[in-house]
Amino acid sequence: MSEVETESEKSRAEIAAYLRDLADQLEGGGEVTLELGGQQIQMTPAESVTFKLEGESDPSESGTESKESIELELVWWQSKAQGEAAQQQQGAGETER
């Protein structure tokens, strides 16, 4: 299993540009490339994807500020054979570099 998870400070404009690029890739119907913090992973979302959206506001104990967040998650299932083929292709690309 491959996973990319990073956390870094970005401006609102940088985040919007990243999300626009991701949206364009999703709309294109093919492979999606996630690149964050120097890490990269390619995935091929199914035609039908579950979209989870969560907004949260968590007040601090002092009550003077709150931690707020927006989480987006896209979830789909693919056959094991498709996943193994994609990992083999990805591994072949890494050895060529």
- Position of tokens 């990269």? 40
Output the pLDDT for position 97.
39
- DSSP assignment of 14-47 equals HHHHHHHHHHHHHHHTS-EEEEETTEEEEE---S
pLDDT of the chain, 97 residues: tens digit per residue: 567 778 889 999 999 999 999 999 999 999 999 887 788 889 999 999 999 999 999 887 777 889 999 999 999 998 876 555 555 555 555 544 3
pTM above 0.85, yes or no: no
- DSSP3 helix / strand / coil % (the chain, rounded to 5): 35, 30, 35
User: Whole-angstrom Cα distance, residue 56 to residue 32?
Assistant: 27
Go through the chain and tell me how many residues it has.
97
User: How many CA atoms are closer than 13 Å to the CA of 55, on its beta-carbon side?
Assistant: 0
The Cα 97–Cα 95 span in angstroms is 6
